[in-house]
A and B are shown apart, each in its own frame.
Chain A
Amino acid sequence: MRDAYVIGAGQTAFGAMPAESYRSLFGTALARAVESVPGEFDRETVDEAVVGTLGVGGRQLGLSAPAATEHAGLGGIPCSRIENACAASGYAVRQAVQAVRSGMADVVLAGGVEVMSDTSSDVTKYWLGVSGETEWERLTGTTFAGVYAQMASAYLDKYGATGEDLSRVAVKNHANGANNPKAHLSFECSLEDAADAPIVADPLNLYHCCPTSDGAAAVLVASEDVAEEYSDDPVRVAGVGAASDRVGLFQREAYTAIPASERAAGRAYDRAGVGPGDVDFAEVHDCFAIAELLAYEDLGFCDRGEAPRLLAEGVTDPDGDLPVNPSGGLKSKGHPIGATGAGQVVEAFEQLTGQAGERQIPGATRGLTHNVGGSGGAAVVHILERESEVAR
C-alpha cells in the first residue's frame, strides 16, 4: 500500500458565529487548507471529499457533503457525509487515507463542519443525546454530561482522584487555548475558578465541560505519488487505528476507561511501528475533564489510575515531556462536533510544520490525534510525523 501524506490543513476559528452558515464555514476552512499547501495547489486537484458532520439541528442531514462542496467550488466530485457523532471528521480523515492508500484517489479532502450556537440549549441537548443509547440513556433524564459524569464518579471512587484533578485539566487547556487565536474560550482560568463553577452533573462542573461551538476544519490528504509536487516536506500519516464499542455506557465492559480508544490507539501504534513514548505531543478528545484523564491511560501515556499524577506533575504541559492539547483542546479551543477530529489534525499539521506560533512545541516531529464519538461508541487515532526529521 502506498503512503498517505497531509499536504495542507486549515480551519475557521471555533466559537459562536451567528453571521456564518455551515457552507461559509466549510468554504473558509477549505480556503485556509489550500493556502497552507507550500507549493502551488489548485482545489480542482481534489479527487474526492469526505465531510464529517452530525447535522445538529437537522439543517442539512441529507446530502450534506455535496451541499458543502458545491459551495466551495468542488462541485461534481464524489463526496459523502460521514457520521460518527463527535468522531465524524476523525473518521473522515481516516476515510481519506483509505482512499489514497487504496489507489482510488490521489488527493482527498477530509473536512468537518458543525453549527451549534443558533439552537436553544434544549435542542442542543437533544442533538447531543441522539448519540447516546437513545431509548435508555435519553429516557433516564440524563445528558451527555451525565454519561461522562458517571465515568467520572466511577474513576474518582476507584482511584481516589478528586474534583481538583478534574479542574487541573481545565486550567491547563485554558492556558494553552489562550495562545490560540482560533480558540472559542481563549481565556485563562485559575484552579479556584475551575473549582467554584456551578455543577452540571456531579462531579462535573461547568469548567469540566467543553463548550458547543460553530466551526469547520479541512485536511488535504495526498498519495506518496503526488505529495512531493505540493510539498518538499509533507506530514506522513504513519498510523491510523479505529474501533467501535457498545453505544450505551452501561453496556460496556469498563467505565474507568474507554475501551474503543485503547483498541484504536493500539492499532495506530502497531501500524506506525512506534509506542506512546515516541510521541512528542497529542491532541486528545477532552469533551469533559474526565475524558482527558481517561485518554492518558487509554493511549498508554501512563498506567491506570496515574493520569492525575501525570497532569499534576506537568508532564502534559506545553513544556513537559508529553504536551497534551497544545491547541487548548475541546475545552478551550471548542467543540463543533463534526469539525473536531479534522481540527485536531489541523493542530498537528501546524505543530509538525512549525506554524503553531506561540503554541509551538519546539522540535515536534511526531504527534498523535485522538477523536471519540459519543461516550466511547467510536474512536479513531492518527499518528502523524515529519518524515524528514524522523528519518535523521
Chain B
Amino acid sequence: MSDHDITQTGPLAPEDVTADSPFTLPGFFDALGDGRLLAGRCTDCGTHLVPPRPACYECGSRAVTIEEQPRTGEVVSYTAVHRPPSPFSDLAPVTVAVVELDSGARLTGRVTAPVEEVEIGSSVAWRARDPDEVGIDPSAHLPYEEDWPVHEFELTR
C-alpha cells in the first residue's frame, strides 16, 4: 500500500479526500508505515500542518500542499508522564516531547530516553514502529487505529 499520491495540492475537491490521500489520517499513517512522514504546507503563509489538513489553521487558506519531512529535529519542550494512561503503564514514566524538525514542522511524540537525558534543544530523530513491539497495550488504539504505526523519537547525541 504505497500508492498514495503525495503530489496533491489544495484546494481539494471533496472527492479528492479519500483514504489514500495523506490529507486523511488513513493515508497519512499508511505513508508513515512506509517510513515517510508527510506534512501539509500552506503555500500562502508557509505554516506546516502535521498531520496534513485540507485547510491551513493559521491563515485559513486551502492551498495546502504535501511535503515529506526530514527525520531529525530538536526538542522544543518535554515532560515525563509518571502516571500515563494504563495502556502505557509498562513504559512509565513516559517521556513525551514537542519536536521541531529541521524543516520547521512541529509534532509531538514519545521519546525513548529517560527524561533526565532530555533537555530543550536536544537533537532527536523519529522512526515509525509497530505498536506491538513498543510495549503499548493494544487497548490504547480505537478500532480504526489498530493498523496505524506509532512514531517515537530517539536522542541522536
Give A residues with C-beta under 8 Å from B: 121-122, 125-126, 129, 135-143, 145-146, 149-154, 157, 198-204, 246, 248-251, 253, 255
Contacts and interface: CB of A to CB of B under 8 A. Distances in A.
Nearest to A203: B79
B108 A248 contact: yes
B62 interface: no
A141 B110 CA distance: 7
Contact of B107 (A136, A150, A152, A203): A136
A203 B50 CA distance: 26
Residue from B77, B79, B85, B109 having most chain A Cβ neighbours under 10 A: B79
A255 B76 contact: yes
B86 to A, nearest CB: 5
Contacts of A204: 79
B57 A141 contact: no
Name B's interface SS.
mixed
Interface in B37-55: 49-51
A260 B60 CA distance: 17
21 contacts: A122-B86, A125-B86, A136-B51, A140-B108, A141-B140, A143-B81, A143-B84, A143-B85, A145-B83, A146-B84, A150-B77, A150-B96, A153-B79, A198-B82, A200-B82, A200-B83, A202-B115, A249-B108, A250-B50, A250-B107, A251-B49
B128 interface: no
A139 B150 contact: yes
Contacts of A129: 85
Given A122-B85, A138-B140, A139-B150, 20 more contacts: A136-B51, A136-B107, A137-B108, A139-B141, A139-B145, A140-B94, A141-B87, A141-B136, A141-B140, A143-B84, A146-B84, A149-B81, A151-B77, A153-B77, A199-B93, A200-B83, A201-B79, A201-B81, A250-B98, A251-B106
Nearest to A155: B77
Interface of B: 25, 49-51, 57-58, 76-88, 91, 93-94, 96-98, 106-110, 115, 120, 136, 140-141, 145, 148, 150
Given A250-B107, A255-B76, A150 B98 contact: yes
Contacts of A249: 98, 108
B83 A143 contact: yes
A151 B110 CA distance: 16
B82 A199 contact: yes
Contacts of B91: 141
Contact of A150 (B50, B79, B93, B148): B79
B77 A154 contact: yes
A128 to B, nearest CB: 10
B90 to A, nearest CB: 10
Nearest to A204: B79
Nearest to A122: B86
A46 B77 CA distance: 48
Contact of A141 (B49, B81, B98, B106): B81
Contacts of A136: 51, 107-109
Contact of B57 (A143, A149, A153, A246): A246
A141 B134 CA distance: 12
A381 to B, nearest CB: 22
A141 B96 contact: yes
B108 A142 contact: yes
Contact of B77 (A145, A199, A255): A255
Contacts of A125: 83, 85-86
A100 B94 CA distance: 48
A69 B58 CA distance: 39
B145 A142 contact: no
A140 B109 contact: yes
